[in-house]
Chains A and B, each alone.
Chain A
Amino acid sequence: MQDIYLLVSGPLAWAAWAIFLFGSIYKIWKTLDTAKKKEQVLFSYVSLKYGLRSIINWSIPFNTVNMRLNPALTAISFFFHIAFFVLLLFVSAHQVMLGEGFGISWFTIPDTLANILAFGVLGACIFFAARRLTVPEVKYVTDWTDFALLILVVAPFVTGILAYYQIGNYMLMIILHMLFAEAVLVAIPFTRLSHMLLAPLTRAYIGSEFGMVRNVKDW
């Protein structure tokens, strides 16, 4: 078990981060490169001003018409995304690992808050799943891959909680937690989780078209 732990927390973690990092760079580069080769004209319609205007306006909770139309989903989605990164970056256990690995650390959040956030993320994922099962227009476009991605994303949180409360075998949970987290990292550039990487691009492009050419808001 200890060997597996060392493998997962050592080489595999390095590999996962490397795949995530280089995969992400590749994904963005590939997208821009393909655009340059096949749709170069699109670049003449991209504006920093209007691209950022759109990104900023879509980053403010309840700022867009559609966000206000779906208040629960808006609140939960914003919470989910914020909590995801807060937990990743500021949980004390992650900081310990960072400290061990790189000798660096920064601000941490209290374990109680981390706990609440983790349960919140869990709840959010249950909400997303319920939405996929019950809301007709979502159900209609949902397939198994959507659930698979959701399970993949929620798995590190579930195992993290189990480990924190020492339910089941602690070491096993920690290993699974790390494994799932690594799987999420690896999946980001190569699945629809790549919206994390591509959404700023699609947003900036359409924001520019709407702002610069069409003189109108896109939110």
Chain B
Amino acid sequence: MSEYAAWDWSVGSKTVANLAECDCEIQWREENQASPDGEQVAAVVNTGEGEFTVCVNGSCWEPRYERVWYLRYSPDGRLSGLACDEGDWTMCIDGEQWEETYGFLFNTMFSKDGSVIACCVADAMTYGMVVDGVAWENLYDNANNFHLSADGQKTVAVVQTVPLGQAEIFKFKEGVYSVAVDGEAWDVNFVNAWTPRFNADNSSVAAQIRLNLFDYTIAVDGKPWNTVYSQVWEPLFHPKNKSIVTPVRISGKWGMAQDEKIIWQPHFYQVWQQQFSPSGDRLAAIVCPEYGRWTLAVDGKTWNTTFGDMVMDLTFSPDGRRLAALGKQDTKWTVIVDDRVWSGQYDMCFAPVFSPDSQHVAARVEKKGKYTIAIDGKEYGQNFDQCFDPTFSPDGSKVLIRAIAGGKYLRIVEPVANIIG
């Protein structure tokens, strides 16, 4: 796949593939995946009893497997699937499999630019991660909460460093879990650890920990904060420095702590999924300011619009000035941008996408089983049987729509002005 800017941004619609056509005999076709540039559509296909491969734009990968699953495009356009051949698992990328095979592979992850593909491995009852085919040197009795750094250079997971027998509750309370970076565990154990995350240059890792059954805090590179809380959620590093923010619960209410200092007073019923703006100047999170009502708070200040069901998919604009999320009220979803709600109500909305110039917000939306995209609250004129997330052109003037209608996969480039009118 070519660079984002070099994608075909000429306005128009084209049929990329007829999904009924495939150059191999198929019994059934599984979920479709569209490449980021929209030039490919792929799906796992069954080619006979116990035999699977992947069909891309009507042509099948050569290798046949007992099973292929979790077919996903990486951000750089490579197509990866977890594949099993004679009981051994590997990753097959664009039809070429890793040289290495393992007992089992799962949970594929991509670096932000897609250049690194990683996944989790279970081999001979031990656990760890595999990056571009290479597994950690040390595998553990158990591992979970796997994470790949944004640049793909580092991996981290919560690992079990001490064997634990059946119903060994006292040993558990002494701590048998730690955090392993590239397979190397911290030299300290905790009762629990969750959601380890890297800072911007991967030099530091922070995770939620539980010191006993009641005291929660954040550990940074193995060292717990001095302050403990009745609950915490996932830590997040500032994009420019080593400062960490995390929602914390004090006396029954949630607030936000930054490096152990309370920056949002604990008066919320919930605070989570916090995000920094790209520059780190602003901090936003999903909050529950009054019981049963949900909204966003930016730098501790709560938005006026609230939703009864839920708020999800908080997204900052590239310039950090704008903020969008999805809100659900009375089972209907909509998009909320800068505390203003789109007029459309949908059975489902997908994560909002900002244009590179931060001027427009688009989202994939669904009503009664028909999908389309909407920009700034205005729906695209055509409905589809399936649709993928929209992508803006580099200058923000056009939008790429990837969709399936009538058994055909379409690639449409439409001027944004035509949609928002």
**C-alpha gap A44/B269 in the complex (Å):** 14
Within 8 A of A (CB), among B269-316: 291-292
**C-alpha gap A44/B291 in the complex (Å):** 8
In the complex, which residue of chain A has the Cβ closest to the Cβ of B290? A40
Count of chain A residues with Cβ under 8 Å from any Cβ of B? 3
A141 within 8 A of B: no
**C-alpha gap A40/B292 in the complex (Å):** 11
A41 within 8 A of B: yes
**C-alpha gap A146/B292 in the complex (Å):** 41
**C-alpha gap A41/B292 in the complex (Å):** 8
- Distance in Å: Cβ of B147 to nearest Cβ of chain A: 34
The chain A residues found within 8 Å of chain B, CB to CB, are 40-41, 44
In the complex, which residue of chain A has the Cβ closest to the Cβ of B293? A44
In the complex, which residue of chain A has the Cβ closest to the Cβ of B252? A38
Task: Determine the main DSSP class of B at the interface with A.
Answer: loop
In the complex, which residue of chain A has the Cβ closest to the Cβ of B292? A44
Residues of chain B within 8 A of A40, CB atoms compared: 291
Residues of chain A within 8 A of B291, CB atoms compared: 40-41, 44
**C-alpha gap A44/B290 in the complex (Å):** 11
**C-alpha gap A135/B163 in the complex (Å):** 55
- Distance in Å: Cβ of B410 to nearest Cβ of chain A: 45
- Distance in Å: Cβ of B128 to nearest Cβ of chain A: 43
**C-alpha gap A207/B292 in the complex (Å):** 20
**C-alpha gap A40/B252 in the complex (Å):** 12
Residues of chain A within 8 A of B292, CB atoms compared: 41, 44
**C-alpha gap A40/B291 in the complex (Å):** 8
**C-alpha gap A196/B292 in the complex (Å):** 32
- Distance in Å: Cβ of B269 to nearest Cβ of chain A: 8
5 A-B interface contacts by CB (under 8 A): A40-B291, A41-B291, A41-B292, A44-B291, A44-B292
**C-alpha gap A41/B253 in the complex (Å):** 13
**C-alpha gap A44/B308 in the complex (Å):** 12
**C-alpha gap A41/B252 in the complex (Å):** 12
- Distance in Å: Cβ of A60 to nearest Cβ of chain B: 33
- Distance in Å: Cβ of B89 to nearest Cβ of chain A: 45
Residues of chain B within 8 A of A41, CB atoms compared: 291-292
In the complex, which residue of chain B has the Cβ closest to the Cβ of A43? B291
Residues of chain B within 8 A of A44, CB atoms compared: 291-292
- Distance in Å: Cβ of A35 to nearest Cβ of chain B: 13
**C-alpha gap A19/B123 in the complex (Å):** 76
**C-alpha gap A210/B30 in the complex (Å):** 43
**C-alpha gap A70/B51 in the complex (Å):** 68
**C-alpha gap A44/B292 in the complex (Å):** 8
- Distance in Å: Cβ of A36 to nearest Cβ of chain B: 12
- Distance in Å: Cβ of B144 to nearest Cβ of chain A: 32
- Distance in Å: Cβ of B252 to nearest Cβ of chain A: 9
Q: B383-404: contact bitstring with A at CB < 8 Å (1 yes, 0 no)?
A: 0000000000000000000000
- Distance in Å: Cβ of A169 to nearest Cβ of chain B: 60
- Distance in Å: Cβ of B293 to nearest Cβ of chain A: 10
- Distance in Å: Cβ of A205 to nearest Cβ of chain B: 15
When A and B form their complex, which 5 residue pairs have the shortest distance between CB atoms, in order from nearest?
A41-B291, A44-B292, A44-B291, A40-B291, A41-B292
- Distance in Å: Cβ of B381 to nearest Cβ of chain A: 42
In the complex, which residue of chain B has the Cβ closest to the Cβ of A38? B252
**C-alpha gap A41/B269 in the complex (Å):** 10
- Distance in Å: Cβ of B103 to nearest Cβ of chain A: 46
- Distance in Å: Cβ of B360 to nearest Cβ of chain A: 37
